[in-house]
Structure 1
Amino acid sequence: MSLKLPNALLAGLLLASNTPLAIAATAPCGSPSTLIADVQGASNTSPLAGKPVEIEVVVTADYSGPDGFMGFFVQQDDARRQHRPGVSEGLFVYAPRYTARAGDLLRLAGTVEERYGQTQLALSGTPSVCATERTVTPAGLILPVPDEAALAAREGMLVSLPQTLTVNDTHELGRYGSLLLGHGRLRIPTAVAAPREGAAQVAAANALNRLVLDDGSSQQNPTLVPYPAPGLSTANPVRAGDTITGVRGVLEKRYGTWRVQPVQGAAPPGFTAANPRRPAPARAAGTDVRVAAFNVLNYFNGDGQGGGFDAPDNRGARNAAEFERQETKLLAALRALDADVIGLMEVENNGYGPRSAVQRLAAQLGPGWRVADPGTPRLGTDAIAVALLYNERAVTPVGAPATAFLDARSRQPLAQTFRPAGNAAQAFTVVVNHLKSKSCADADGAERDQGDGQGCWNAARSRAAHALAEWLDTAPTGIAGAGTLVIGDLNSYAMEDPIRLLAHRGYDDMVARLAGQDAYTYVFDGQAGYLDYALADAALASRIRAVGIWHANADEPVAFAYAQAYRSAAQQQRYYAPDAWRASDHDPVLVDLSWREAAPEASALPRGGGDMASGPEGGGGSVGLAALLAIMLAACATVAGTPQTRQSFR
């Protein structure tokens, strides 16, 4: 994640550490001067770092305004270009007290520096304008690049990308005015490849296929975000998956990321809504019951007693106004799902009384909506919990709601068996889950990131997955023989250990089977994958007609969420709409069930995942049986010895 520092602070830091030699450009225009290629050199640092030089160059873009970068970019004029392999012929000139004009041929002096990962020139004196209205030829750039050296060879230069590129991330659009682009959609490595070598190869390829399109400003929360033209708003969105053409600007490395800064006066890039907003998927023909899984991003209704939002463990809305905005969007999304049973994650864990968060949601959904209440004051010890809502006009609960301790770091699951209305002969069990996140806070030992692509706490999630399967074998709701649907945010991508462990225990990934391996519910660091699941046992898999994902959240700019922080009154209005878009950060998963004769057999459903027993790195990213048994044995030992009172985290 990048961080744009306010210019007043940045200027102070730079001036305090920046004392260029007092050199003035005294030689007349056309006199011998240092070439930019000699300043940049072929290595990571300039061979002339710390030395005074005098250059004669063309200004390509000026960013010296109050919200700019306190300088301008220059490039060698075409007649004097050297075209040395791997050597850039562009340069940033740090000049906080000078405004340049694009197209001017300047003669200037300064000291060569290495700052923030790129070579720059600290201006000394006043440049001489040798000519005006000069142009330079942009360097071509194609994604993916063969290596980072291909980007370094164009550092500071005007570049043009002739491709149709894909928007991969909108996370920083409202805050910093930037978009992450790539050639095609980037995928989470362990969503499409086995951990370790396979995932490492995907990660390496992704790293060479990403470039930030910036806004030429250092301002945070800009008044106007330029993308898409004429400016971002809820009525003029850009989504991950949309495409863009005509990208042109100055290539630089700033805030640790390669990015293209736009050139003033140039035509803005063209956007195509290749991934437009669409309504929630309609029910498949013949559907009897629809089940949904939805992570609702910290739905907290205060203290659970009708009080305020300042509790120390509050993770949701900061005040009543934000809560109203949040709830309006969330209810719009929940109603649009057209579901009969809804499993929720990240609901405030404040019990099941009339003022609890989950009871409030059920009441807001309307008559007939009820809450599966396991009969406990709270569900585990975390600030958030899972929940099950159901429409009693469509399904009837049978047996008893059940929960269990899985692992100290995962939320407790909640299970309930239902019968479809008017069908007393059939039953199915829904189990909603939320396993430990990949956040590395407090991770130690085996729980730390092992460098295999699965992130922190993979061992804890694997233990929880094993304990979940063991618990479900006991028919916890008291109804034996009912097909089981495991839903929820498992915080594991499709090829990771917990999912493959559950597959070996008979819970098939119906998202992979019916929505495809390119399915996603979440976008992280510009890469798409799914953390939200519908896993079915053999008894229920044959009854699943369709699995759909409603891309209402993950592709949307976070600027469109309910939060009011870091936004002016005008921005709060421009970026907010009382609709379902960006109601959360996860996309909901929809599962359509049918008990009619036309339902396909499980063996006839298209396959989307790998075979657990086909080898540690083969079979579409499957894990070997020996490795799986080792995971399970470790899980058994750890679950048996883990105290229930240990604090869990998001």
Structure 2
Amino acid sequence: MRLPRPECSIALSALSLACLMGYPSGADAAMQPCGSPATALADIRSTGQVSPLAGRTVEVQAIVTADFSGDGGLRGFFLQTADAQRLRRPGLSEGLFVYAPRARADVGDMVRVSGKIEEKFGQTQLVLSGSPVVCARGLSVTPQTLTLPLAGESDLAAMEGMLVRLPQTLTVSDVHELGRYGTLVLSHGRPIAPTQQALPGPAARQATAANARNRLLLDDGSTRQFPAVVPYPPPRLSPAHPVRAGDTVTGVQGVLERRHGQWRLQPVRGAGAPAYQHANPRPAAPPRHPATALRVAAFNLQNYFNGDGHGGGLDAPDNRGAPDTAALARQQAKLVAALRGLDADVIGLMEVQNNGYGPTSAIRQLAAMLGPDWRVANPGTPALGTDAIAVGLLYNARTALPAGRVATTWLGERSRQPLAATFRAATGGAPVTVVVNHFKSKNCIEAAGAQADQRDGQGCWNPARVQAAETLARWLGTAPTGIADAGVLVIGDLNSYAMEDPIRLLAQHGYADLVARFAGPHAYSYVYAAQAGYLDHVLADPLAAAHVVALHAWHINADEPAAFSYATAPGSGAAPAFYAPDPYRSSDHDPLVVDFASSPRAR
């Protein structure tokens, strides 16, 4: 066997054909020597979905840009055509993933490999046969420039498998799966949920398409789930060192690929780490307005279940919350920290276990954790409807005085029942009726016909939510608590963004959107699929609206990684490494607080 010549390590631009025609160490006898004609990476590519060479065996020679063949990696490496040899055909990539579970490759090596072309996980790859042959070392390629938003998905397809850089300041738009997969979503600016600002229909579809062109997943180069070390933000994620949606990143570079249906950027070892800026730091609890007589809050607890109230029943089939007593204790610690931080007098809750109002009920035990002054608004029924979860109302008996009766009604077969109660501040002033709601979710299970997704941006079950809104408005017109001179605050998770039919219907009935009025067009309380908006609402009739002096969304949850929640990794049996008994990621929704003055005031 002929040994590689030392001069084969010089820069590619100076390589001679004589050098390339040598047989470096490790050469496969069945493979042509370095420098022999090889299939161009551009020839493997197509502007369509499938490579024209799919199913065929080819030989290629190119430079290794990234290697992910280690334990827990992607089981392969990426190649890119040397700058001087690129064909630069419009729309065709000159990068390629080599699936090689038993081989390693060094970044900067020019290698020659042989294998079959196939489509896997949505991207084109070469399945290595034999071993890579090293033709030269110490080489590099020029990263392609990519900017968001894209003109179209073809922009990404033209760079699949290539080293790319994004020369712009990007916004972290989603961190939900950071702890599980080591991924976060990057965008140019912060994408807004389409029907948060656009009317359902063509405008919402246009916004949806624009958002789809303005996202890229930053991965960690690993296939591990729940990794011990999450690399973002560098050097590692921790409760004291978080990355939040709304933070910004510069210096992003990596190899672009499509895997499991998403375009993603895999980091390259040795490249400079992206720089993270805490553009959206954790906020302090919202201060009370000086004129506040009564503070009302709305908070979706993300399935607070206490089983039978004695430590059992957490393994029941309908339990949607903590699976054991240790997890329940962690959940309770975070929820209590958040609820106390609200500094509210009346709190409307969603997603509480619907197990009544007795001493062992979830809502009674939660009230007891807040202190001896806290009470539960009890409608006098064994439960509130038939769903596993219900809404609830807590109030501080020292600062909020109930008036009239606690009322509820039926809003439709698929809707949870609301709960209404009237309160006055202990210091005096006008009464306000607080109505907490939780409309049907957008989940499409069992949705059919008109209830199915109409592709207008409103998701499934929109007619059910419209019916709930109409029935609610008519019911509130009857003064259900018996206090006719009270203003009305409709609060809770209506599972509808600001421009959707249920919210516009309630506006026609005279209920103003106070989140929009006080927090502006970029308000949000929830992040889903890297899009921010608010499903949680404070709507007020004219009488109540005249008393409202402030409203805040306390961003303790929607921007935080799910890894910071009380939950454990499946099968771990131990407290999460990222857990802290603080309010951050106590739920998936941000709570809203509204300050109510004793008399009408100008803002």
Whether TM-score is above 0.5 comes out as yes
Q: Specify the alignment match of 1:42 in structure 2.
A: 47
Q: 2:521 is aligned with what amino acid?
A: Q
Q: How far has the Cα of 1:43 moved from its partner?
A: 3.1
Deviations 1:276-300 (A, max 9, x none): 0011211112111100000011111
Deviations 1:235-282 (A, max 9, x none): 111100011111111000001000000011222111111000011211
The one of 84, 91, 100 equivalent to 2:96 is 91
Q: Is the 8 A contact 1:167 1:241 kept in 2?
A: yes
Q: Structure 2: how far apart are the matches of 1:581 and 1:567?
A: 24
Report the count of equivalent residues. Answer: 576
SS of the residue 1:174 aligns to: helix
Q: 1:245 is aligned with what amino acid?
A: T
The answer on 1:147 being equivalent to 2:152 is: yes
Q: Specify the alignment match of 1:8 in structure 2.
A: none
Q: Is the 8 A contact 1:435 1:461 kept in 2?
A: yes
Q: Structure 2: how far apart are the matches of 1:297 and 1:52?
A: 52
Q: 2:351 is aligned with what amino acid?
A: E
Q: Specify the alignment match of 1:358 in structure 2.
A: 363
Q: Specify the alignment match of 2:451 in structure 1.
A: 447
Q: How far has the Cα of 1:499 moved from its partner?
A: 0.4
SS of the residue 2:179 aligns to: helix
Q: Specify the alignment match of 2:585 in structure 1.
A: 582
SS of the residue 1:46 aligns to: coil
Deviations 1:370-423 (A, max 9, x none): 111111111111111111111111121111100101111111101011111132
Q: Is the 8 A contact 1:317 1:563 kept in 2?
A: yes
Q: Specify the alignment match of 2:15 in structure 1.
A: none
Q: Specify the alignment match of 1:631 in structure 2.
A: none
Q: How far has the Cα of 1:112 moved from its partner?
A: 1.7
Q: Structure 2: how far apart are the matches of 1:536 and 1:419?
A: 16
The answer on 1:509 being equivalent to 2:520 is: no
Q: How far has the Cα of 1:303 moved from its partner?
A: 1.8
**Percent identity among equivalent residues?**
62
Q: 1:155 is aligned with what amino acid?
A: E
Q: Structure 1: how far apart are the matches of 2:160 and 2:335?
A: 44
Q: Structure 2: how far apart are the matches of 1:128 and 1:443?
A: 56
The answer on 1:497 being equivalent to 2:497 is: no
Q: Structure 1: how far apart are the matches of 2:572 and 2:447?
A: 37
> Aligned runs of 1:342-381 on 2, under 5 Å?
342-381=347-386
Q: Specify the alignment match of 1:26 in structure 2.
A: 31
Q: Flag structure 2 segments of 5+ consecutive residues without an equivalent.
A: 1-27
Q: Specify the alignment match of 1:275 in structure 2.
A: 280
Q: 1:350 is aligned with what amino acid?
A: N
The answer on 1:334 being equivalent to 2:339 is: yes
Q: Structure 2: how far apart are the matches of 1:129 and 1:379?
A: 70
Q: How far has the Cα of 1:115 moved from its partner?
A: 1.8
The answer on 1:521 being equivalent to 2:525 is: yes
Q: Structure 1: how far apart are the matches of 2:514 and 2:266?
A: 43
The answer on 1:68 being equivalent to 2:73 is: yes
SS of the residue 1:546 aligns to: strand
Q: Structure 2: how far apart are the matches of 1:427 and 1:96?
A: 69
Q: Specify the alignment match of 1:395 in structure 2.
A: 400
Q: Specify the alignment match of 1:138 in structure 2.
A: 143
Q: Structure 2: how far apart are the matches of 1:67 and 1:205?
A: 34
Q: 1:290 is aligned with what amino acid?
A: R
> Aligned runs of 1:575-614 on 2, under 5 Å?
575-596=578-599, 599-600=601-602
Q: Is the 8 A contact 1:25 1:108 kept in 2?
A: no
> Aligned runs of 1:177-188 on 2, under 5 Å?
177-188=182-193
Q: Structure 1: how far apart are the matches of 2:440 and 2:521?
A: 23
> Aligned runs of 1:455-470 on 2, under 5 Å?
455-470=459-474
SS of the residue 1:449 aligns to: coil
SS of the residue 1:398 aligns to: strand
The one of 216, 239, 247 equivalent to 1:242 is 247
Q: How far has the Cα of 1:126 moved from its partner?
A: 2.0
Q: Structure 2: how far apart are the matches of 1:569 and 1:229?
A: 27
> Aligned runs of 1:53-202 on 2, under 5 Å?
53-202=58-207
Q: Residues 306 and 107 (structure 1 numbering): CA distance in 2 closer, same or farther, change over 3 Å? A: closer
Q: Residues 569 and 348 (structure 1 numbering): CA distance in 2 closer, same or farther, change over 3 Å? A: closer
The answer on 1:414 being equivalent to 2:419 is: yes
Q: How far has the Cα of 1:306 moved from its partner?
A: 5.6
Deviations 1:133-189 (A, max 9, x none): 100001100001100001000000000111110011111100000001100101110
SS of the residue 2:537 aligns to: strand
TM-score by length of 2: 0.94
Q: 2:214 is aligned with what amino acid?
A: N
SS of the residue 2:155 aligns to: helix
The one of 547, 550, 554 equivalent to 1:550 is 554
Q: How far has the Cα of 1:568 moved from its partner?
A: 4.3
Q: 1:503 is aligned with what amino acid?
A: A
Q: Specify the alignment match of 1:427 in structure 2.
A: 431
SS of the residue 1:333 aligns to: helix
Q: 2:330 is aligned with what amino acid?
A: R
Q: Structure 2: how far apart are the matches of 1:565 and 1:153?
A: 37
Q: Structure 2: how far apart are the matches of 1:452 and 1:42?
A: 30
SS of the residue 1:437 aligns to: coil
The answer on 1:255 being equivalent to 2:260 is: yes
Q: Is the 8 A contact 1:342 1:388 kept in 2?
A: yes
Q: Is the 8 A contact 2:311 2:325 kept in 1?
A: no
Q: Is the 8 A contact 1:81 1:89 kept in 2?
A: yes
Q: Is the 8 A contact 1:462 1:497 kept in 2?
A: yes
Q: Is the 8 A contact 1:521 1:587 kept in 2?
A: yes
Q: Specify the alignment match of 1:314 in structure 2.
A: 319
Q: Is the 8 A contact 2:144 2:162 kept in 1?
A: yes
Q: Structure 2: how far apart are the matches of 1:497 and 1:455?
A: 11
Q: Is the 8 A contact 1:25 1:128 kept in 2?
A: no
Q: Specify the alignment match of 2:12 in structure 1.
A: none
The one of 399, 405, 408 equivalent to 2:410 is 405
SS of the residue 2:125 aligns to: strand
Q: 1:585 is aligned with what amino acid?
A: D
Q: Structure 2: how far apart are the matches of 1:241 and 1:262?
A: 21
Deviations 1:323-371 (A, max 9, x none): 0000000000000000000000011111111111111111111122111
Q: Specify the alignment match of 2:4 in structure 1.
A: none
Q: How far has the Cα of 1:596 moved from its partner?
A: 4.0
Q: Structure 2: how far apart are the matches of 1:185 and 1:356?
A: 40
Q: How far has the Cα of 1:305 moved from its partner?
A: 5.6
Q: 1:89 is aligned with what amino acid?
A: E
Q: Structure 2: how far apart are the matches of 1:565 and 1:223?
A: 11
TM-score by length of 1: 0.87
SS of the residue 1:495 aligns to: coil
Q: Structure 2: how far apart are the matches of 1:347 and 1:25?
A: 67
SS of the residue 1:346 aligns to: strand
